[in-house]
Chains A and B, each alone.
Chain A
Amino acid sequence: MTPRERITALFNHQEADHIGIMDHFWWEPLAEWQKTGSMPANSDPEDYFDLDIRKVGMDISPMLPRENVEDTEEYRIFRDEFGMLNREWKKKQSTPELLDFACKSREKWHGETKQRMEWKDSRLDVDGIRAAVGRWRREDRYITFSVLEVFEAGWRIVGPELQLEVMLDDPEWLHDLYETITSLIERGFETLLGAGIELDGVWLWGDISYRGGCFFSPAMYRELVMPYHKRLCGLAKRIGGKTIYHGCGDNTKIIPLLIESGVDCLQPLEVKAGMDIFQAKRDYGEWLSFMGNVDARLLQANDLPGLEKELKEKIEFAKRGGGYVYHSDHSVPPGTSYDTYTKVLEMARTYGRYNNISE
């Protein structure tokens, strides 16, 4: 089967030749593997490891000028296109420290930021995407339109704490923010379709949960977020495709609402946050596919016996009736050896094989 045939079958809850294979990587392990010659320099890990899914995206930021503010031996401080002031290490992996944000009031939003969210052709590299999609089509990859959903894009503009406060203080502003982001994404998607670019699904990225569950109440999700998630999931439905939803943290209690919004596949099911593929598949496997739940801490520890147990038990359960794609439970972390990782992929393909369907 080709990657597209495989992922399509699995997302339709049918068995394939084997489970899907996908992953994401922190930059450190890739740099290490390339430095030591384990994989070619500047190689794309999705190509090199023959991963099934590809992503195309667009710029949904306020398109503020990127600027370096401070550069030291250890770290750099820079302002990104969302206007977010970040401090990040130069030589080691970490999530950045968020120092400041572009829009800290309703007045700033209406006075300046919202205007910056207008459509511009430069938000979408149509020619570049057409070229990439053409190549991936020849390999018959499963190609997704990959964008931040409204909560994730929203905090990058106004800051995570203010966004959460605004959910209670000023829901009207939040609706305007989310409407603006959603309309922009819809415009980008339509532009790609209008350009004759064929896509298979949508991949939404948004961490609405932490290890304690969803940041906000189910009622707030339904009132403030779900209308926009429904529209974004609706994009995939328009092309007969599926929506993958990336959400870190413990999404267990909010899964029914994600299904109601139209999410078809949940990723990455963080083990350390308490996500459990056994429970999720038992409770929601009829409606939802899953991607992930392979504990990245085992990768980091290069614990091959632990990984074999993890992969065997989880894959043999999760692959039943389709609906499962291998993925680490977030990203392949620093410290993971190349040998460990290639063995993991080999085990995933072996334990993920369906015996009655030939490759």
Chain B
Amino acid sequence: MSLEDLSQAIIVGNRQKAIDLTEKALADGTPPPEVIYRGLVPGMDVVGEKFRNNEYYIPNVLVSARAMSASMELLKPLLVSSGMKYVGKAVIGTVEGDLHDIGKNLVRMMLQGGGFDVLDLGVDVSPDKFVQSVKEFKPELIAMSALLTTTMPGMKKVIEKLNDEGIRGTVKVMIGGAPITQRFADQIGADAFASDASSAVLRAKELLGVSS
């Protein structure tokens, strides 16, 4: 077995096979970061590419992300001692007043599949909570989601709060969601807009200067 087989299990969304191959890789002494970067991440890269090319749709992405998450569950407890280095740290959340989380969850899973360490703040996240998470978790990226036109101004409030606290320069801000446009991102001073979960990973890597 090779880590290419694990990538393939991720690509086709075979959860059980992903678990079996992850266990086997660990039993064979493969370091956990190698399982992630040579197994999971290349698999999710292909999933993202297929999604962008309309070969894959949301169901495919979900079953692949599910397989990846199952593998990650096995790897997580081993990462601290293995000296795992993520491609970046990200905080993600749906903005204040907005309770919608399906799109946000998809972006979280794709970011994790792209090698990011992601802190998910959930839904209805206040500017204070976003800012606090930047201070404590020290991410390079904040990803914010909004479903409603009535809640999208919350994104601007987060950016203003980051400015007020003098920490805007420490973190990139990426936004997305049904009513969000590049124009809105420009208006509020966000660093990037992502139209879907797959492009969110690409934008995130671009922002952080990480090669795909």
**A interface residue numbers (CB < 8 A to B):** 87-89, 92-97, 160-161, 164-165, 167-169, 210-217, 220, 272-273, 296-297, 300, 333-335
Is B157 part of the contact surface with A, judged by Cβ < 8 Å? Answer: no
Contact of B60 among A88, A168, A210, A273 (CB under 8 A): A168
- Tell me the complex Cα distance, A169–B60, Å: 10
Contact of A95 among B59, B60, B99, B179 (CB under 8 A): B99
User: Chain A contact residues: over half helix, strand or loop, or mixed?
Assistant: mixed
A87 proximity list for chain B (CB < 8 A): 99
Contact of B59 among A93, A94, A167, A273 (CB under 8 A): A167
Interface with A: B27-35, B110-118, B145-153, which one? Answer: B145-153
A97 proximity list for chain B (CB < 8 A): 99-101, 123-124
Q: Which residue of A lies closest to B61 (CB)?
A: A164
- Tell me the complex Cα distance, A300–B178, Å: 16
**B interface residue numbers (CB < 8 A to A):** 13, 54, 57-60, 62-63, 66, 97-103, 105, 123-124, 147-151, 178-179, 181, 195-196
- Tell me the complex Cα distance, A227–B6, Å: 36
Q: Is the CB of A164 within 8 A of B100?
A: no
- Tell me the complex Cα distance, A353–B33, Å: 67
B97 proximity list for chain A (CB < 8 A): 89, 92, 94
Q: Is the CB of B99 within 8 A of A215?
A: no
B195 proximity list for chain A (CB < 8 A): 211-212
- Tell me the complex Cα distance, A212–B106, Å: 13
Q: Is the CB of A161 within 8 A of B62?
A: yes
B179 proximity list for chain A (CB < 8 A): 272, 297
Knowing A97-B123, A165-B62 touch, does A217 contact B57 (C-beta < 8 A)? yes
Q: Which residue of B lies closest to A167 (CB)?
A: B59
- Tell me the complex Cα distance, A6–B181, Å: 37
Q: Which residue of B lies closest to A162 (CB)?
A: B62
Give the shortest distance, in Å, between A288 (CB) and chain B (any CB). 23
- Tell me the complex Cα distance, A217–B57, Å: 6
Q: Is the CB of B150 within 8 A of A335?
A: yes
Knowing A87-B99, A88-B99, A97-B101 touch, does A215 contact B58 (C-beta < 8 A)? yes
B62 proximity list for chain A (CB < 8 A): 161, 164-165
A296 proximity list for chain B (CB < 8 A): 149
Q: Is the CB of A95 within 8 A of B100?
A: yes
A94 proximity list for chain B (CB < 8 A): 97-100, 148, 150-151
Q: Which residue of B lies closest to A163 (CB)?
A: B59
Give the shortest distance, in Å, between A78 (CB) and chain B (any CB). 13
- Tell me the complex Cα distance, A132–B13, Å: 50
Q: Is the CB of B100 within 8 A of A212?
A: no
- Tell me the complex Cα distance, A334–B148, Å: 11
Contact of A215 among B57, B101, B123, B150 (CB under 8 A): B57
Q: Is the CB of B102 within 8 A of A95?
A: no
- Tell me the complex Cα distance, A87–B97, Å: 12
7 additional A-B pairs beyond A161-B105, A335-B150, beta carbons within 8 Å, are A92-B97, A164-B59, A213-B54, A215-B59, A216-B59, A217-B57, A272-B149
Contact of B148 among A95, A168, A211, A212 (CB under 8 A): A95
Give the shortest distance, in Å, between A306 (CB) and chain B (any CB). 14
B63 proximity list for chain A (CB < 8 A): 165, 168-169
Q: Which residue of A lies closest to B123 (CB)?
A: A97
- Tell me the complex Cα distance, A97–B195, Å: 22
What are 20 inter-chain pairs, A to B, with CB distance below 8 A? A88-B99, A89-B97, A93-B150, A94-B97, A94-B98, A94-B99, A94-B100, A94-B151, A95-B100, A161-B62, A161-B102, A164-B59, A211-B196, A212-B196, A216-B57, A216-B58, A216-B59, A272-B179, A300-B150, A333-B149
